[in-house]
Structure 1
């Protein structure tokens, strides 16, 4: 594939990924090649390749003669992804604690303050939470790790974001962010990693234990604002 087609493919993939991640394209939405061709003014090859990349990331499912369908995940998938995510996020916090510059630590504190200011507004807190974690990923200096975490978060978004509609969970999340921030500010790698484990695990342990004991009935969680 030429560099130009690669660039077009990346543009399509990135925009559709963001629409799935934001909930603009909820679970079950059909996306076909012709829609992408018309929308982005491209040929069939970059449109098809973008869908293949989205499918590889688990964001869509390719269906013969139907194009792509925005994926849902089963409850068991959600639990399995949660157990992996906690380890990846912990590693990101450890690396960020070691590698962040003073300016980046200040940016993380600013992101934390935005989270605090957003309490009471689920949408605003969701965006501030994304910013806090995003600053931390950048500070880890590991692009592959950051990409893996973002892909997993995109797949899990529906259920994870639903928690922000509960004030008690938002208060707990904010306190957990503070623990991560304080550890990173003093460069305590172990404390940062442990604080992130507590943060990511906090909202998922009850779900995980309950769902792991359930029969595999194929129940699924969508990517809308509610599971």
Structure 2
């Protein structure tokens, strides 16, 4: 485990009495972010004990969160060795895009049709926050808003099967983006493309949302192929 993590020996008070499912969700989100931001680097072994101390919770929600992260390909469980942070496979990202493209279009179509007024307002707020984070070069906020955008978009479809399908795809995409997008400052362009999708959904502009999603996917594929050239 990366020694740069700041370890706090005192459990966070708000976590002590939280329901176990909430603790698992919190652990999942925080460990996912630690992997995405490379606080937990690819190829490193994860210590459940240290994570338990760092996050201020017992080992059960940590273990359950790691199982969820295994399901989306962020970690590997090695017999008699422990939990390993998975590497990033660029070619696998291209395969992922083949799956993501049609699902992304379906997602924005459904969201444009079914989003509630409150969800549409929230999408517009997220668009503004992502652009702000990009302009300020705040990659931590950028990646957190990116997660919120992915969650809000797919929840607005009100389709449980689509929600489940997109969770792993979006998580893998966020991890790849954080590692590669900061090197070429493409996060500013990426933020605007995301905002175009969100604003079109908010305005119930189905054709505009589909077109914006297509442009976003073109951008993601271009970025992925450029990263492939560096390996």
TM-score (norm 2): 0.70
The Cα of 1:165 is off from its aligned counterpart by 5.1
Alignment of 1:48-63 (within 5 A): 51-63=66-78
1:138-186 per-position Cα deviation (integer Å, ceiling 9, x unaligned) = 212234433433322333434312314544x334324423432343233
Q: How many residue pairs end up in the alignment?
A: 208
Q: Partner of 1:204: helix, strand, or coil?
A: helix
Matches within 5 A, 1:60-209: 60-118=75-133, 119-123=135-139, 124-161=141-178, 162-164=180-182, 166-167=184-185, 169-205=186-222, 207-208=224-225
CA-CA distance at 1:66 after TM superposition: 0.8
- For the structure 1 residues 150 and 26, does the alpha-carbon distance in structure 2 shift closer, same or farther, using more than 3 Å as the test? farther
Query: 1: distance between equivalents of 2:151 and 2:42?
Result: 24
Residue 61 of structure 1 deviates from its aligned partner by: 1.2
**C-alpha distance in structure 1 between counterparts of 2:66 and 2:145, whole Å:** 29
Q: Take 1:133 and 1:154, find their aligned partners in 2: how far apart are those partners?
A: 9
Q: Which runs of 4+ in 1 moved over 6 A?
A: 4-11, 36-39
Q: Which runs of 5+ in 2 are unaligned?
A: 1-18
> Scaled by the length of structure 1, what TM-score is found?
0.71
Separation in 1, partners of 2:130, 2:64: 37
1:31 corresponding residue in structure 2: 46
Give the Å deviation of 1:192: 1.2
- Distance (Å, rounded) in 2 between the aligned partners of 1:60 and 1:98: 36
